[in-house]
């Protein structure tokens, strides 16, 4: 399908993406996904309505048009979750566009996303998390590589870092102190305590690493000295989980889930854990935990202002 889009509409799309980048700190990967989703929507409308999609045609989209797009998207194999993501991108674009072009976007904004069952994260229990850390360190024949992988996974579990955050550490962050400032999703900063065991794991790796830790260079290196790829860490955990007989859900990100769950199980406050993880919404933090409802309600009742 050849996509014909008028320059004004293309400029509007790029303007919305630039606004999302500047005002919301949206990552480049997310912006790329947004662009593809909206362009897919415009391509469908061009074919479906038989006219190039400029600003005026985009403002005339109807409820039946939206239903046709959703039906086509599902028929091409998109899951309910994927369609919901695409619809969210289109709605966000339309909110921005309607405000600037002064048209009524109700037909688009009132479209309901398909229901889907959210997959809850599956953290490891404490013994499995410790075994994962130890086993990851034994996967490589090169001692410094094993120390590297062990240090990364220790930071994921011991500090609740995302893998991108751990691999984003540079020589300027060394030596790690008792707390470190992390820049997470959307450019949001948070201060994360660093446990002695995590500092020790990192120090052991640095002492064994054959590459210099210069201020602007990445702390975690590949075997040739470049920045370590997340995929290498994922492969190391895959090997470790198979050796330990753990399920496929035992991934690097599961270590972050485990960090939150174990803190909450030990009586940690949801708001404090939310800050440690860098979540914008408390509901997101709740989804990262795997504790029974009774315990969750106890924590809620103890921390909610109205319960006091």
Instruction: Give the angle 285-290-292 at the CA atoms, nearest 5°.
Output: 115
- Which residue out of 148, 199, 257, 279 is catalytically annotated? 279
CB 69 within 8 A of CB 45: yes
Residue 262 CB neighbours (<10 A):
19
The answer to whether 106 and 59 have CB atoms below 8 angstroms apart is no
3-state secondary structure of 212: coil
> 237 and 250 in contact (C-beta within 8 Å)?
yes
The closest of 4, 114, 100 to 52, measured between CA atoms, is: 4
Torsion, Cα of 61, 66, 67, 71 (10° steps): 130
Alpha carbons 136 and 166: distance in angstroms, whole number: 16
Among 34, 94, 148, 162, the one annotated catalytic: 162
295 is catalytic: no
**Is-catalytic flag, 279?**
yes
Rounded Cα distance between 74 and 76, Å, is: 5
Catalytic, 256? Answer yes
Identified catalytic residue from 256, 271, 298, 304: 256
In the annotation, is 298 catalytic?
no
Closest CA to 271 of 263, 260, 262, 282: 282
Task: Give the active site residue among 288, 295, 306, 308.
Answer: 288
- Give the CA angle between residues 300, 306, 308 to the nearest 5°: 85
Catalytic residue numbers? 162, 185, 253, 256, 279, 288
């Amino acid at each position: 399908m050849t996509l014909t889009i008028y320059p004004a509409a293309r400029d509007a799309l790029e303007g919305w993406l630039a606004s999302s980048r500047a005002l919301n700190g949206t990552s480049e990967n997310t912006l790329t996904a947004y662009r593809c989703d909206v362009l897919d929507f415009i391509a469908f409308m061009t074919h479906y309505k038989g006219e190039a999609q400029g600003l005026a045609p985009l403002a005339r989209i109807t409820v039946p048009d939206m239903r046709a797009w959703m039906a086509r998207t599902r028929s091409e194999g998109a899951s309910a979750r994927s369609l919901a993501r695409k619809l969210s991108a289109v709605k966000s674009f339309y909110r921005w566009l309607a405000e600037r072009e002064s048209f009524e976007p109700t037909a688009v904004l009132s479209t309901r996303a398909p229901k889907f069952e959210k997959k809850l994260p599956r953290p490891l229990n404490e013994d499995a998390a410790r075994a994962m850390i130890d086993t990851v360190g034994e996967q490589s024949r090169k001692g410094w590589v094993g120390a590297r992988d062990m240090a990364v996974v220790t930071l994921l579990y011991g500090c609740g870092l995302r893998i991108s955050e751990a691999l984003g550490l540079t020589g300027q962050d060394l030596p790690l102190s008792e707390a470190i400032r992390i820049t997470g999703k959307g450019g949001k900063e948070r201060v994360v305590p660093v446990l002695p065991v995590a500092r020790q794991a990192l120090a052991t790796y640095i002492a064994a690493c054959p590459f210099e830790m210069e201020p602007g260079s990445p702390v975690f290196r590949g075997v040739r000295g470049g920045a370590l790829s997340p995929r290498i860490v994922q492969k190391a955990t895959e090997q470790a989980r198979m050796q330990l007989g753990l399920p496929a859900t035992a991934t690097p990100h599961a270590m972050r889930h485990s960090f939150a769950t174990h803190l909450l199980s030990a009586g940690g406050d949801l708001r404090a854990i939310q800050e440690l993880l860098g979540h914008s919404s408390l509901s997101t933090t709740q989804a990262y935990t795997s504790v029974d409802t009774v315990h969750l309600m106890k924590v809620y009742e103890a921390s909610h202002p109205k319960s006091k």
